[in-house]
Amino acid sequence: MAVALRGLATVVPPTVLVQEEVRDVFAAQPGLTRLAQRIVATSFNVSGIDTRHTVLIELSREAHPDEPVFFDIRSGELLLPGTKARNELYVEHATTLYLDAARAALAATPGIGPADVTHVITVSCTGFYAPGPDYVLARDLGLPPDVERYHLGFMGCYASIPALRLAKQLCEATPDAVVLVVSAELCTLHLRASNDPDTIVASSLFSDGAGAGIVTARPLEPGERAFDLDRFATRITPVGEGDMAWKIGDHGFEMVLSNAVPAIIDQHITGAMEPLFAHDDALAEALRTDASSEAIEHWAIHPGGRSILDKVESRLVLTEEQLVPARATLRDFGNMSSATVLFVLRHILDQASSGDGERVAAMAFGPGLTVETALLTVRG
């Protein structure tokens, strides 16, 4: 029984951050040391990002609230609101992104409507509220009153892959199931000025966005393009637990993203791919002989940062073309935590070069250091 990811849709908030302008704001903050100013310049300049999106409209040139919460445009100073103020904005804006992404996914899935949805899985690590986004989707989309709901919270950047794995398992257990999966992340709510290198790196990368899709074993409609969800695997690297972390502080959530992460991924990425390819002799042999780029046509790599993509490309001997979906996503949208890999998959599906039957290896990284992988097949 083939289980497919259908109706894959992505949305972003309307406010655009231009990377060079954001760099200059962060570099001009009072209290920054000269070393921190140099780190800001380097981190932003080599990020591989041109633009990002944010729900914080006061960061735009057009919005000038009389009582700013995050950014005082008159002084150019980034403010330091508490976690409560940040989370209240999450409740307001994440709800909109969840609903917009879910509606787009349903509209893009022929033959499936709200009444068909049997399960909802929501994903986020950038805020909390209850009743949560799973409840809001059921209520505002008019889903059946007995729809089953699950929320994967605070897992980090890799969480959309476990969400798709869970959705597939639900479909295998109930062949007529229709699972709505939605990831929404508002990372910019937690950005702040700092002399800490890890915080500076996070400020140069993270952004807001949402992705959604329908997972079901129901047959595709004529002309529909989707992904078969073939197989999933997970691996915890033996090092790196303290190099990527996400904790709740008094002034928002605090990201630890050390400069050792690219080297850890470089050292352990091949081992992390082994369980995904273990059941296919040809793929396992391709991994051993550095021929993965020939065995797998497309690669949906979570663009945690430019240096991470460089390490993955080099270690797995991938072509520059195979990294275009990940690099283009990073360039245009930044790192949207768990939602990002859905943007990369959407890019692959939109490519004229992706044809029926071609395979996709997806990979995302997060706290632990955890590597989640998936093997997919293009359909349509």
- Nearest CA to 55 out of 203, 194, 190 is that of 190
Q: Angle 34-45/19-27 helices, nearest 10 degrees?
A: 170
CA distances from 147 to 117, 128, 293 (A): 7, 21, 41
Contact between 225 and 349 under an 8 Å Cβ cutoff? The reply is yes
Peptide bond into 131 cis (omega under 30): yes
Q: Which residues contact 344 (CB under 8 A, 6 or more apart)?
A: 300, 301, 302, 303, 325, 326, 329, 362
CB 10 within 8 A of CB 346: yes
- DSSP per position, 75-141: TTEE----HHHHHHHHHHHHHHHHHHHHHHHHHTSTT--GGG--EEEEEESS---SS-HHHHHHHHT
- Catalytic status, residue 157: yes
> Measured between alpha carbons, how far is 123 from 4 in angstroms, rounded to an integer?
19
**Contact at 8 Å (CB) between 157 and 149?**
no
Taking the CA atoms of residue 220, residue 225, residue 226 and residue 228 in that order, the dihedral angle to the nearest 10 degrees is 70
Burial class (CB in 10 A: 0-12, 13-18, 19+), 277: buried
- Give residue 283's identity as a one-letter amino acid code: L
Residues near 193 by beta carbon (within 8 Å), at least 6 away in sequence: 26, 29, 31, 32, 78, 203
Instruction: Take residue 197 and report the two structure tokens written for it.
Output: 């290198």
> DSSP string covering 319-354, please?
-TGGGHHHHHHHHHH-B-GGGHHHHHHHHHHH-TT-
Catalytically annotated residues:
157
